[in-house]
Structure 1
Amino acid sequence: MTPLVMFDDELADGWAPFSLTRPCGELIFGRWTLRERLERVAGRRVTGHVTRPWLRRYAEAGAPASLGPDRLPDAATYWSSRAVPALDAAWGRSPANLWLAGQLAGIRLAPGGRPPRPDWFAAPRPEPGLADRTLPGEWLLHPWDLVSAGPARLADDLAATIGAGVRDDLPDGCRRLGSEAIRLGEGARVEPGVLFDAREGPIELGPGVEVRTGARLAGPLYAGPRSRLLGGALSRFSGGPFSFVRGEVDGVTALGYSNKAHDGYLGQAYVGRWVNLGAMTTNSDLKHTYGTVRVGPPGARTDTGLVKLGCLLGDHVKTGIGARLDTGTVVGAGSSLFGAEMPPTWVEPFSWGPGRTRERCRREAFIATATRVVARRGLEADAPFRGWLGDVWDEACRP
């Protein structure tokens, strides 16, 4: 099989706060990451990501590495991370310019075909001499599209895949509402008193997931391997692996290894990896005026066109107890927020401190904390992992 490579274009490069720390193909949209979805459609593994230069040492278990200009394979298929192919798309094998919804999504090169020049990935162009092939699917334009379109995508994904092995015999003491499918993965443990509300979409619990008494799970909902749903009303949630969730949660995607183990409302939000939300952390997802939400740094805010949008939290973000996040808040990676004052709606990466009087988290302190956090989940923060995080800090905090 020819190699399969994902790339971030100039729009994906601006997907703050997530594009600072990871290739955009490693973001969850619906049931899977964008990379995992492409692998299902193409029937092969992604070889690597073409992404931002400071992510050259990107190192995450189970994910392909970043590919520099000198490592791009010949005769490969190159596919945009923002292009979301339909699960039933006929992938094909012939060399072609690959189109999706009227835009070029990628190219499949002929045998011996040389990889594109480095500047091609920012604004890809059709390859002369190749046939045109159109695939069904959709495009993601902004990072908040992952929030607004996520629940509908999750419902469709689960409906397409959950049919095999469906369990209608729920554990003793649990109840069901609705007729959508429910599937419990191998080793999933559900205590008595859990309500499965399958009226609006399917529910899937991955292997080893634990659900505590007092949880109300409303579909569409997916909890990845070894996640723990600790209680509260959880609806339209997709997250994992190893995510801890409690409280009122609606319309949320969590990349995994995140911790919201206490009460508090989290709605219409996207949570990066290794995030820890202190007890009673709560976000607003609706303005008092019921107007559309604007997102971005001061002087460069963008109208999302969305009436409901909560927060976008980058990797390794932490909040203190009682933290309050306003509508449309974006918190940069590595930030630690605490104190009684509400932070601004745009928080630069590696910010540390209360409210609006924040300092920059020191490089060594950030990496040391990340190392301890990873060890608490039974993983090793090895030299490549620490090097990747150090490169990210250097990019975000350079003079």
Structure 2
Amino acid sequence: MSDARLYLFDDDTARGFEPFARTGPVGELLFGALRQRERAERVLGLVCAGHLVGADLAGLSEPGAPGCLVPDEVDDARPRVLLNSRVVPDDHQGSADLDPSSPARLTVDGRHAGWVLPAGVPLPADPGATEAGPTDAPERALPGRWIDHVWTLMHEGPERTAADIPAYFPESRFVLTEGVHAEGTDRISLGRDVAVEPGVVLDARRGPIRLGDGVVVRAFTRIEGPFFAARGARLLGGSFAATSVGPHCRVRGEVESSTLLALVNKAHDGFLGHAYVGRWVNLGALTTNSDLKNNYGTVRVWTPAGRTDTGLVKVGCFLGDHVKTGIGTLLPTGCVVGAGSNVFGSGLAPAYVPPFSWGGPQGLDVYDLERFLQTTERAMARRDVRLDEGTRRALARAWEASRAEREAPGA
């Protein structure tokens, strides 16, 4: 399979995974200790060459990740494996040994999941349609499951982390600094150049803990497994439990049963519970979300199809990429904040904030596109990342495509 290339595609369901899908591919969302793309690469033994997500995201790039492509950019001179980005392959044994010389229709749990396309076979117009590929392709079943709702990424993230760490990050040899208190050390895995200061508690009795390369843990931090922190994350004090922290995040306060994607800045106190937080989010000091209704009922959340009952009692917030909150922002149970929004003001924020909005409890206005892009460019430069033209254009298309949501009655 070394000559074959992997491509992840978003189907219509994945494109509805708001508030994240408008500004990024679902294949780059973190589930447990791996992004969907990383998991597929490991299980299939292939390198992902790109995400097929539609023209609106074409040209968008993320540090350390393959870009978003249109079909014409896919090289059909090589064998290709197309896999739905919502598939969670469950084979922890490594490569699935697909034969790239013969076409095949991939299924997971009895549902169409993608294609194996030998060199020269045209790319299906719709990889998610069973009738779009080679008509004579035999079926090949892969072990795994599906993510059917965006809140699954939050709700089942800790369980997935508990399974991922021993499978992909086995026990490592390390010596903890004197003054670090550890329970269940046989379930703690540390990468290279990890710095854990005295006064830190690592409690792996309820689940494994993985601290990736270059992670820094400041004094007076308590970590309870299952817990994952990716490379370069900085844990600045507080209590963290059942949480996945993406690369180069800065996190402080109380965080429970949550997932933070890359480059999130939560460097101050405040509670974040049962939340899923996008890339480049900046949470002002004491930003706090509610994750439980006072009648202990199930939580309804906004989706592109309308408000939907999650069936879950604990649901915090879903914050899209580039969201910013002001000091002391309060987010209600099941809050959804669209990408690029700036939320501030006293009182509870709206339960749904459309993408690229400016305001809070006292009312929402439109976040001017040029001002948003200028701020985004400055924020990224602070982390030595450049806002390239492809990403700039993709964000501008997302701003324009969400205009109707901002102008809808009640928005």
Fold in common (TM above 0.5): yes
CA deviations over 1:32-86 (Å, ceiling 9, x no partner)? 1100111111112111111032101211122112221322333421100001101
* Cα drift, residue 356 of structure 1: 4.6
Aligned match of 1:323: 329
* Cα drift, residue 385 of structure 1: 3.1
State yes or no: 1:128 paired with 2:131. no
**Counterpart Cα distance in 2 of 1:19 and 1:298:** 11
Say whether the 8 Å CA contact 1:229–1:244 is kept in structure 2: yes
Report % sequence identity: 47
- 1:1-399 equivalence runs, <5 A: 1-74=3-76, 75-86=79-90, 87-88=92-93, 90-94=95-99, 95-117=103-125, 120-125=126-131, 127-167=134-174, 169-296=175-302, 300-397=306-403
CA deviations over 1:79-115 (Å, ceiling 9, x no partner)? 0000110133651222321111111111112343211
**Counterpart Cα distance in 2 of 1:52 and 1:205:** 35
Count of aligned residue pairs for this structure pair: 396
Say whether the 8 Å CA contact 1:371–1:381 is kept in structure 2: yes
**Counterpart Cα distance in 2 of 1:43 and 1:153:** 20
CA deviations over 1:321-344 (Å, ceiling 9, x no partner)? 111111111100000011102121
* Cα drift, residue 210 of structure 1: 1.1
Q: Which residue type is aligned with residue 242 of structure 1? A: H
* Cα drift, residue 153 of structure 1: 0.4
CA deviations over 1:168-187 (Å, ceiling 9, x no partner)? x3221101123552122222
Secondary structure, in 3 states, of the residue corresponding to 1:307? Answer: coil
Say whether the 8 Å CA contact 1:7–1:78 is kept in structure 2: yes
Say whether the 8 Å CA contact 1:13–1:52 is kept in structure 2: no
Structure 1: segments with no counterpart, 5+ residues: none
Change over 3 Å in CA distance of 1:7–1:297 after alignment to 2: closer
Q: Which residue type is aligned with residue 77 of structure 1? A: V
Secondary structure, in 3 states, of the residue corresponding to 1:170? Answer: coil
Task: Report the TM-score when normalising by structure 1.
Answer: 0.95
* Cα drift, residue 384 of structure 1: 2.8
* Cα drift, residue 315 of structure 1: 0.2
Say whether the 8 Å CA contact 1:3–1:73 is kept in structure 2: no
Secondary structure, in 3 states, of the residue corresponding to 1:222? Answer: strand
* Cα drift, residue 254 of structure 1: 0.8
Change over 3 Å in CA distance of 1:148–1:299 after alignment to 2: closer
CA deviations over 1:108-164 (Å, ceiling 9, x no partner)? 1234321101xx235444742122211111100011110011110011000212224
**Counterpart Cα distance in 2 of 1:281 and 1:30:** 24
CA deviations over 1:299-340 (Å, ceiling 9, x no partner)? 921111111110000000011111111111110000001110
Say whether the 8 Å CA contact 2:42–2:95 is kept in structure 1: no
Say whether the 8 Å CA contact 1:177–1:198 is kept in structure 2: yes
Quote the RMSD (CA, aligned, Å): 1.8
* Cα drift, residue 345 of structure 1: 1.0
Say whether the 8 Å CA contact 2:169–2:210 is kept in structure 1: yes
Which 10-residue stretch deviates more, 314-323 or 299-308?
299-308
Secondary structure, in 3 states, of the residue corresponding to 2:339? Answer: coil
